[in-house]
Chains A and B, each alone.
Chain A
Amino acid sequence: AQTVTQSQPEMSVQEAETVTLSCTYDTSENNYYLFWYKQPPSRQMILVIRQEAYKQQNATENRFSVNFQKAAKSFSLKISDSQLGDTAMYFCAFIDRDDKIIFGKGTRLHILP
Chain B
Amino acid sequence: DAGVIQSPRHEVTEMGQEVTLRCKPISGHDYLFWYRQTMMRGLELLIYFNNNVPIDDSGMPEDRFSAKMPNASFSTLKIQPSEPRDSAVYFCASSFPRITEAFFGQGTRLTVV
* Residues of chain A at the chain B interface (Cβ within 8 Å): 33, 35, 37, 43-45, 47, 50, 91, 95, 97-106
Contacts and interface: CB of A to CB of B under 8 A. Distances in A.
A98 B55 contact: yes
Contact of A91 (B43, B48, B93): B43
B31 A99 contact: yes
Nearest to B48: A100
A99 B43 contact: no
Interface string B43-71: 10100101000011000000000000000
Contacts of B106: 43-44
B38 to A, nearest CB: 10
B93 A102 contact: no
Nearest to B109: A43
B85 interface: no
**Interface bracket on B:** 20 to 34
Given A33-B98, A105-B41, 18 more contacts: A43-B89, A45-B91, A45-B93, A45-B104, A47-B101, A50-B101, A99-B95, A100-B45, A100-B48, A101-B33, A101-B45, A101-B102, A103-B35, A103-B42, A103-B45, A104-B42, A105-B43, A106-B43
B29 to A, nearest CB: 11
A112 to B, nearest CB: 22
B101 A35 contact: yes
B37 to A, nearest CB: 9
Given A43-B106, A44-B106, A45-B93, A95 B98 contact: yes
B81 interface: no
A57 B48 CA distance: 31
A38 B86 CA distance: 24
A42 to B, nearest CB: 8
A31 B43 CA distance: 23
Contacts of A44: 104, 106
B107 interface: yes
B84 interface: no
Interface string B82-113: 00000001010101011001101011000000
